[in-house]
């Protein structure tokens, strides 16, 4: 299993390195405009009359750049949370107020404000946008291998279900793979949909409206 995942990670990382600057810019623009509209529709479905919070991430080199999307959400009053990493522990989260510090574990820039736990986050967030190298049509997510998101959310999702918030993996279009293409273990985080430059690709619909917000 670990060998299969390692080979798939290497293949996708190579494909990302080969993407042109124009391809990356186009994807960033698509996340910023149609992606923003998709997230806002989802928040409206979950909480008519007022937005929930949204969780996102600071992209590493090569990862889908969702910063424009998150900045647009902040501009219209949506509270956006970014992860704060600590070694071998679940992620914590802080609101993105424009102040950052380097990650202690080599990730993207992290916000400096007061932190909340992942359990508290899923009570506040309507949408949690997570980074991924790939996702398959069962919702199986391939991460970078650090295990941060698996440790933070898999058990919580088992206990709470998916009705309090919805989890989307941000990937490029060619990183949405056929069912069972991503090897999985019981502790691996599964997502409800993939947010891509082309729109929202839904794998699991919930009563909260996931799948009705896609373009």
How many angstroms separate the CA atoms of 95 and 50, rounded? 18
Asked whether residue 68 is domain-assigned, the answer is: yes
Check whether 107 is labelled as a binding-site residue. no
CB half-sphere exposure, 202, CA atoms < 13 A: 13
Q: How many domains does the chain have?
A: 1
Question: For 6-43, what is each residue's pLDDT tens digit?
Answer: 999 999 999 999 999 999 999 999 999 999 999 999 99
The two tokens of residue 109 are 């820039």
Identify the domain containing residue 56 by its residue range. Answer: 2-78+117-202
How many angstroms separate the CA atoms of 26 and 95, rounded? 27
Check whether 161 is labelled as a binding-site residue. no
Asked whether residue 66 is domain-assigned, the answer is: yes
Check whether 146 is labelled as a binding-site residue. yes
Domain CATH for 64 = 3.40.50.10420
β-bridge partners, 177: 136
Check whether 42 is labelled as a binding-site residue. no
Check whether 61 is labelled as a binding-site residue. no
The two tokens of residue 88 are 């071998």
Check whether 142 is labelled as a binding-site residue. yes
Question: For 41-86, what is each residue's pLDDT tens digit?
Answer: 999 887 665 558 999 999 999 999 999 999 999 999 999 999 998 8
Q: What's this model's pTM, rounded to 2 decimal places?
A: 0.91
Task: Return all residues near 10 (Cβ < 8 A) that are at least 6 apart.
Answer: none
Check whether 9 is labelled as a binding-site residue. yes
């Amino acid at each position: 299993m670990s060998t299969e995942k390692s080979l798939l990670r290497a293949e996708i990382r190579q494909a990302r390195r080969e993407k042109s600057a124009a391809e990356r810019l186009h994807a960033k623009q698509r996340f910023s405009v149609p992606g923003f509209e998709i997230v806002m529709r989802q928040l409206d479905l979950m909480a008519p009359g007022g937005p929930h919070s949204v969780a996102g991430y600071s992209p590493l080199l090569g990862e889908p750049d969702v910063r424009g999307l998150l900045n647009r959400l902040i501009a219209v009053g949506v509270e956006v949370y970014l992860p704060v990493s600590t070694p071998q522990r679940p992620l914590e989260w802080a609101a993105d107020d424009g102040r950052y510090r380097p990650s202690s574990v080599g990730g993207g820039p992290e916000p400096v404000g007061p932190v909340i736990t992942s359990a508290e986050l899923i009570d506040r967030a309507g949408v949690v946008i997570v980074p991924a190298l790939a996702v398959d049509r069962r919702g199986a997510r391939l991460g970078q291998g650090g295990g941060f998101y698996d440790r933070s959310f898999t058990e919580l999702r088992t206990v709470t279900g998916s009705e309090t918030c919805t989890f989307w993996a941000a990937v490029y279009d060619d990183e949405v793979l056929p069912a069972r293409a991503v090897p999985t273990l019981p502790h691996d985080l599964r997502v409800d949909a993939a947010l891509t430059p082309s729109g929202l690709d839904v794998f699991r619909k919930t009563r909260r409206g996931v799948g009705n917000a896609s373009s």
